Structure formats: C-alpha cells, structure tokens
C-alpha cells in the first residue's frame, strides 16, 4: 500500500509546535536558588460585605454598651466605697469563694448552651454581659442581648430564640418549685412571725407562685420548643445551680464569721433564697437581716455582713459591666472602620 496518505513521523505543523510550546510553558516550574528570597504573592480578594442584620446587631450591642456605662455612672454615685472597703475581708479564700458564687449563674447557663449549641468558651463572656444587663439596666434585656449575640453566629445555631425562651421559662419554673418546697419546710418558722411578714402577704406571694407555675405547666406544649429530654436536662442543671447558690452563700458567710457553724449558714442561705424568690414582699434585704439576727443573735456582726454583701454585689456588676461595655465599644468602632 502507498504511504502517501500518512504524514511522516517527523513532520509537524506550526500549530502543533505552538501548542507544544504553550504546554511546556504552562508546566514549567520555577526553581529558586538556595538562599534566594521567594516573592510574596498576594491575592486581592474582595472584602465580604456585612448583612443588614449583622449591622443592626452591632448597633444594638453598641447602644446597650452605652446604656450600661450610663447605668454604671448612676450606680457609682450612690455607693460609699470607704464603708465597703472597711467591711470587705482580706482573706484570699473569701475572694475565691465569692468569684465562684458570682460565676455560678453564668457558668450553669454556659453548660446549658454548650449542651444545646456547642458554644465556645467565649460564650461565657456573653452570658456575663447578660447578667450585668439584667441587673444594671432592665430585667430580661440581657436575654435580648444574648439573642443578638447568638443570632450573629448562625454557624452555631439557626434559631436561638426558642432555646433562650425555654431556658428562661424553665429557670422561672424551677425557682417557683424550689420556693414552694422551701415554704413547706419553713412554714412553722414563717407562721411564728420570725419573718416579719404579714400572713396576708405570705399567702398572696404563695398564690402568685402557684398561679404562674400552673400557667406554665398548663401551656407547656405551646410554650416550649425543645424536645422533652433536653427540657429535663436543662431543669436538672437549674436545680444544680440553685443548690450551688445555697452552698456557696453559706460557705462565703462562714469564711467571714467562722465562729458560726456552716449548718446554720446553710439554713440561713436557704431562707434567704426563699425570701428573695417571694413576690409582693418589699424590703427583702431588711427582712432577711432581721431573720438572721433572730436566729443567730449577733446583731452587729450579722448586720455588717449583710451590708457588705449588699454593697459588694452591685460593685461587682459595675466592674464587670464597665469592662465589657468598654470592650464592646472598641470592637464596634473597629468593625465600623474595617
């Protein structure tokens, strides 16, 4: 057969040469000599734009921070720091127990949201801000601020409102149950008049606690959004937090007045939580101070202790609030400049 229809093996068209040249250039590798600096290649990537929701969340956080600083200024005006410093113990153990007492609330909530959302350790700072906002500004404003914090991290949770609502409702319900149990246990002491409360006030407070608990249980299927198993676990954590408050309160007072047995302090801590949970009861601190004097009989020491604790907690809220509000304002300013 003739070989005229077949191109010779050595022949190549110009286009084939160009293609081969381009392929060889594309696969070429640049080799740098030892010690020769490698050029820094930078890619100009467009900066991601913040969504409107993220901007509104940052604006809301900045407004809360400014309001918190204003509340701090107002609170500081009414405090007498000289008297506070005179009453505060110098024992390191006292401060260790006080920090644990102050952190038991935010720490228990962090355990809950860690269980629900797997939030990082930084979520503890957001829960501290929630505590301070509720104490210095307005009740449940901290929940709104924490919702904005969680909403800005959609990679952790898609719909945080339902979980925050359930945790808040369960906290109130758990507190009501504990109050009813303590009322039943201390009824003989209450009926004796040692509390300094009228019978009508006590029964009205008891009615409010029972009514709110009944409403929550009656509409539980419409109120709660989390599965039943998670609701039971959250309730157990709330109960553990309540026991932690009572135990740490008793230990804190025992460090200040070690001559009083810790068993008596546990009784007083339980009664204090009972008084603080009762609605429609004015001057709760005064009532508890009178109750402590009635049980212990140490007028001056107990009054100084209660006065010191009554001033130390607001000062702690002021310090924590000032730190976080300042950090939030700097963070929002840097975010606006970016």
- Integer Cα distance of 149 and 329 in angstroms: 15
pLDDT of residue 37: 54
pLDDT of 298 over the 90 cut: no
Identify the residue whose tokens are 């359930």.
Answer: 166
* Mean pLDDT for all residues in the chain: 75
- Integer Cα distance of 110 and 217 in angstroms: 25
Could you tell me the CA-to-CA distances from 272 to 175, 183, 191, 278, 287 in Å, in that order? 13, 12, 16, 10, 9
Q: Domain boundaries in the chain?
A: 162-297
pLDDT of 48 over the 90 cut: no
Band of residue 47 on the pLDDT scale cut at 50, 70, 90: very low
- CB-based burial, 108-135: b 16+ in 10 Å, e otherwise: bbbebbeebbebeeebbbbbbbbbbbbb
| DSSP notation for 123-189 | HHHHHHHHHHHHHHT-TTHHHHHHHHHHHT-TTT-S-HHHHHHHHHHHHHHHHHHHHHHHHHHTHHH
Highest mean pLDDT among 44-48, 64-68, 200-204, 257-261: 257-261
Residue percentage of the chain with pLDDT more than 70: 64
> What contacts 246, CB < 8 A, 6 or more positions away?
266, 269, 270, 273
- Integer Cα distance of 232 and 202 in angstroms: 30
pLDDT of residue 53: 53
pTM exceeding the 0.85 threshold for the entire prediction: no
Tell me the two tokens of residue 108.
């228990």
Backbone angles phi, psi at 270, to 5 degrees: -65, -45
């Amino acid at each position: 057969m003739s070989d005229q229809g077949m191109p010779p093996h050595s022949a190549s068209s110009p286009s084939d040469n160009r293609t081969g040249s381009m392929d060889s250039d594309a696969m070429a590798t640049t080799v740098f000599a030892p010690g020769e600096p490698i050029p820094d290649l930078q890619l100009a990537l467009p900066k991601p734009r913040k969504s409107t929701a993220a901007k509104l969340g940052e604006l809301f956080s900045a407004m809360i921070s400014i309001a918190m600083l204003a509340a701090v200024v107002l609170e500081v005006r009414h405090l007498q720091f000289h008297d506070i410093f005179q009453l505060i113990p110098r024992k390191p153990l006292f401060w260790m127990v006080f920090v644990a007492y102050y952190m038991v609330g935010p720490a228990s909530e962090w355990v809950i949201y860690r269980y629900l959302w797997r939030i990082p350790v930084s979520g503890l700072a957001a829960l501290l801000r929630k505590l301070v906002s509720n104490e210095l500004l307005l009740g449940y404003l901290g929940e709104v601020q924490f919702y904005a914090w969680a909403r800005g991290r959609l990679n952790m949770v898609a719909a945080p409102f339902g979980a925050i609502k359930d945790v808040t409702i369960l906290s109130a319900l758990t507190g009501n149950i504990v109050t009813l149990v303590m009322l039943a246990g201390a009824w003989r002491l209450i009926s004796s008049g040692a509390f300094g409360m009228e019978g009508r006030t006590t029964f009205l407070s008891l009615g409010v606690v029972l009514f709110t608990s009944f409403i929550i249980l009656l509409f539980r299927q419409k109120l709660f959004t989390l599965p039943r198993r998670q609701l039971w676990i959250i309730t157990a954590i709330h109960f553990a937090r309540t026991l932690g408050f009572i135990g740490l309160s008793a230990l804190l007072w025992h460090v200040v007045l070690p001559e009083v047995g810790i068993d008596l302090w546990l009784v007083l801590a339980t009664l204090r939580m009972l008084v603080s949970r009762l609605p429609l009861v004015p001057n709760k601190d005064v009532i508890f101070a009178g109750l402590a004097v009635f049980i212990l009989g140490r007028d001056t020491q107990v009054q100084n202790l209660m006065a010191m604790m009554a001033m130390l907690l607001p000062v702690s809220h002021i310090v924590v609030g000032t730190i976080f509000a300042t950090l939030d304002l700097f963070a929002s300013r840097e975010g606006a400049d970016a």
